[in-house]
Amino acid sequence: MKTVSFKTFQQQVNARKAALHMLDTQAEIEALRNKGANRTPAKRELLRRAEERARDAGLQPVKAYF
């Protein structure tokens, strides 16, 4: 197995992104983000219950944007 440092890994990722013409601007990242508009009611309920359980456990829930 080959060990790769984080810096080398990051350079490899950036090289692949450049080869694929991928950019990292905030607008492009936001455009690709899943806003949840196509979520089923069952998935929305699952996320709501998960958020509720996190709050009940005293944890900061991850916002799922139902």
pTM above 0.85, yes or no: no
Residue 66's nearest CA partner among 55, 28, 51 is 51
Can you give the pLDDT at residue 5? 93
Question: For the chain, what is the radius of gyration of the CA atoms?
Answer: 18
| Alpha carbons 49 and 59: distance in angstroms, whole number | 14
pLDDT, tens only, 17-33: 888 877 667 777 677 77
**% of the chain residues with pLDDT over 90:** 24
